[in-house]
Structure 1
Amino acid sequence: MQKFNSSIFLRFSQGIEFSFYAAIFFEIIYLIKLVGELNLDIIYYLAILVQHVALILIFYIVIKKNISTSVPKYIFIIYFTWLVYNVLNLIRGAYLSNTYLDWRFLVLTSFPFVFLSLVFYIGNNPHYLRRILIKTLKVFLPLSFVFIPLAFYTNKELFSRIVEPVTYLILFIPYLKNKWKYLIISVALVSVFLVVDYRANLIRIFLSFLILSIYYFPKIFNLRLIKVSRVFLFFLPLIIASSALLFNYNVFNELSQNDSLRVTNKHGESENILSDSRTFIYAEVIASVNNSGNWLFGEGASGSYHSDVFYDRGGGTDGVRYASEVNILNLLLHGGLVGVFIHFMLLFSSSKLFIEQSNNRLCVMFGILFSSKWLMSFIEEFTRFGLNFFFFWLLLGFFSTYYLRRKSDDQLKKFLSF
């Protein structure tokens, strides 16, 4: 592991912490503005400014080469391919942009999302990762409860969405002190019961606690079962998609026929929690890509699709929508099948590395969690600058390092003892 001059380390740590807080600030303002309950135009532009300053700081820290890149060469090549491909896609998007809305989406959404991936390099340094975890547990999560009343007044999903990183933190529970364990569990449960119709959050929390069982029941979850589970998580979405395309069998439509599980949604209406809210989005995005014929490389980073359902709502303007709620569809729309394949390879290769080449169960658990990210990309996972992808890239960089994977469980407990 690379040694740092203490003054440089402190200065860079402060820059990284600023970037972390910037992601929190932007996420909160974005989610409140999304529902339009408050006039936050000035604050929103301030949040955008803070966001771009944070990206500049991250870029500065990376080019200063004070970040170790002690990761397997093939993981770095796949990550770097992802980065280069998406930077080229930004350039292509700029070339293809014709309207104000094209440029707005390119600059305010695509650009920050792509360069947020530089946090991967920050995750390569365990000390930076540790500082972020400390700030998350000691500052962010305790203060997050303050936003619960604001969530009821503005965006009911506000609290649940800003604490999405808890789905990663759940796996750290065996390695942390009791007070942090209780905090993480409390935040996770509140995020679920506060908005019970936020199904993607429910699935993520459930999967994280299920994966946590790997640590506590090693005899049940042996290495062979874990490897099979990893492969299953990657093939499950493909099986479901194939059944719909080849046999016209829509599993989501079948589930929606069960009307026994009803909850009150954020609009105060009774809703079937198993209702199908994704098939029509798939149909609209795929139809748009098919009409343009840009299956291989997509529509570019400023690309859009035609939506009748979200004609003038949900981010749509006169039937034009620049992104959907589904990660895999956004990857297909903006980067084509090439972009989808690179994303798949990044998750597939890294999860295999974490499971098969590590000395601790934390890596193994995150191997399964990153496998589940492929499954979740077919359900939700917004492709934008935010805390979810901040932690995604941070932890991907961290768990890819030799430093972390060669540590034992006991050594990790000492490392995470704060």
Structure 2
Amino acid sequence: MNTVNKQIISHIIPVTIILFAINSVLPFMKPGVPMAALLNNTTVWWAISFLILALFLLSKRYFFDKRNEENMLIVWIYLLWNLVCIIRGIFAAEIYWDWKGLIGNAMALLLPVVIFSSTNKMVVQSLLSFFIKYGLPLFLIVALIIRMDAFGFYLIPISFLVLFFPALTKRQKILLLFISLTVMLVDLNARSNVIKFGVPFFVLLLYYFRKRISLKMMEGARLTLFILPLLFFVLGVTGTFNIFHIQDYMKGEIHASGVGGDGQVVEQNVMEDTRTFLYEEVLESAVNNDYWLLGRTPARGNDSYTFGMREAELTGRYERLSNEIGLANVFTWTGIVGVILYSLIFFRSSFLAVNRSRNIYAKMLGIYVAFRWLYSWIEDVNEFSLNYFMLMMMIGLCFSESFRSMSNKDVIIWVRGIFDVRYVRLQQYIYKKNRYEKTEYSSIANVPQQEG
């Protein structure tokens, strides 16, 4: 029975990445799309989200690489603390909108369960392969009904694959370049897309200069990415220097055309500060309501005077359930305790990837995960989306002993297997040859969860 269950789960898991992709762009459908309300039904997607969480929790039994047990302690502690905050939220919820917020935010806070299965490199390969095979063709249809600024939300797995650019074939490189440039140029006003698809190309410099960059230099870069946000936060709070007011130190403005919420083309200043007032509201709300240590629970949000009037029409409160800054949401829902635990996950996973890996690709991934922690001070909203799912998957790979122990040549075969099944067969042949395996397997269900 266990073998049957394992086979079933192994064939269902890859489908989840398509569901995440679709769910991520539904809020950005163009006006007038037929059956838009039906497609974006909250109850239906709650049910799907619950099933996905249950699936990944169950898959841990079959695909979690147990060699990572000790390093995963921080993930367990963070999930348990989130569960405590969710239970607290049950008692804190007072009105319909509190309960609705609690359910949606609880799904997002439990999504790190994906990290466990993602320590199995074959699970990750299967997910990404399914996206390339079915998700990309589906995008040709999805692109017709969503705004251009949402293209990056659907295609975010491509930004991850860019980190493996040197390992790919010429045709695969052209595909990644075409998609990345399309996402970045189709709407320059979508700053997040430009950053998330552009930074991986910058991280690639580590590969091309790997002979000149020592491990100490990489570790220094990693630590810098963790120190900078804290430094800028202190400088901002004390009124010494505000990084979000960078335009005050520059002459002129930089404008770009983009698509507004109503689907109309608008021109905006890309240097405009859209974060300082959010920090002010989040921090003032925590201090005024005394929830800075343990959080206000995922059933509640932060007091907001900027968006409060609009929210008050629905809830009767000048309170915003979530905002655009990922780390600020963690702070509001789970307090300083949650922020520390969340940060430790990024710190530990990136440390292992940079300092405890045999291949340059894992080291680059560790640097990129450290950058994503920095970026959570600016955006990276904690929601049940493909972007957050991919972030948890990347963290899982950083924790993965099997991924970190691969040589550069092993990674080449692994990543090409995402695009071409022939490399999967080659990977299986090499595994059997090295381990004297006699078992035939054709899916991730039959790949041993440990290699040692």
- TM-score normalised according to structure 2 size: 0.84
Which residue number in structure 2 is paired with residue 383 of structure 1? 382
Q: Is the 8 A contact 1:347 1:374 kept in 2?
A: yes
Deviation at 1:156, TM superposition (A): 3.7
Deviation at 1:149, TM superposition (A): 3.2
Q: 2 CA distance for matches of 1:86 and 1:49?
A: 20
Aligned alpha-carbon RMSD (Å): 2.3
Letter in 1 for 2:278: I
- TM-score normalised according to structure 1 size: 0.91
1:69 partnered with 2:65: yes
- Name the CA shift for 1:378/1:358 in 2 (closer, same or farther; >3 Å): same
- Name the CA shift for 1:296/1:37 in 2 (closer, same or farther; >3 Å): farther
Which residue number in structure 1 is paired with residue 48 of structure 2? 50
Summarize the alignment of residues 291-330 of structure 1 with structure 2, pairs less than 5 Å apart.
291-313=288-310, 317=314, 319-330=318-329
**SS where residue 66 of structure 2 aligns?**
coil
Superposed CA deviations along residues 377-405 of structure 1, whole A, max 9, x for unmatched, are 01101110011121222232233122111
- Name the CA shift for 1:312/1:167 in 2 (closer, same or farther; >3 Å): farther
1:253 partnered with 2:249: no
Q: 1 CA distance for matches of 2:119 and 2:404?
A: 12
Q: 2 CA distance for matches of 1:280 and 1:50?
A: 35
1:347 partnered with 2:342: no
Summarize the alignment of residues 144-183 of structure 1 with structure 2, pairs less than 5 Å apart.
144-151=139-146, 155-183=147-175
Which residue number in structure 2 is paired with residue 128 of structure 1? 123
The count of aligned residue pairs is 407
- Name the CA shift for 1:237/1:71 in 2 (closer, same or farther; >3 Å): farther
Match for residue 284 of structure 1 among 265, 281, 285: 281
Q: Is the 8 A contact 1:24 1:162 kept in 2?
A: yes
Q: Is the 8 A contact 1:240 1:251 kept in 2?
A: yes
Q: 1 CA distance for matches of 2:372 and 2:190?
A: 17
Q: 2 CA distance for matches of 1:127 and 1:269?
A: 44
Deviation at 1:325, TM superposition (A): 0.3
Deviation at 1:229, TM superposition (A): 0.7
Q: 2 CA distance for matches of 1:147 and 1:185?
A: 20
Question: Which one has a bigger Cα radius of gyration?
Answer: 2
**SS where residue 263 of structure 1 aligns?**
strand
Q: Is the 8 A contact 1:70 1:401 kept in 2?
A: no
- Identical aligned residues as a percent: 24
Which residue number in structure 2 is paired with residue 113 of structure 1? 108
Q: 2 CA distance for matches of 1:38 and 1:48?
A: 22
Gaps of 5+ in 2: 421-452
Deviation at 1:313, TM superposition (A): 4.7
Gaps of 5+ in 1: none
Q: 2 CA distance for matches of 1:365 and 1:289?
A: 36
Match for residue 101 of structure 1 among 91, 97, 117: 97
Superposed CA deviations along residues 180-238 of structure 1, whole A, max 9, x for unmatched, are 22222221111111110111222222221111121122134332221111111101111
Deviation at 1:177, TM superposition (A): 2.8
Which residue number in structure 2 is paired with residue 408 of structure 1? 407
**SS where residue 264 of structure 1 aligns?**
strand
Q: Is the 8 A contact 2:247 2:253 kept in 1?
A: no
Superposed CA deviations along residues 229-255 of structure 1, whole A, max 9, x for unmatched, are 111110111111111122442121132
Q: 1 CA distance for matches of 2:312 and 2:15?
A: 29
Summarize the alignment of residues 215-234 of structure 1 with structure 2, pairs less than 5 Å apart.
215-234=207-226
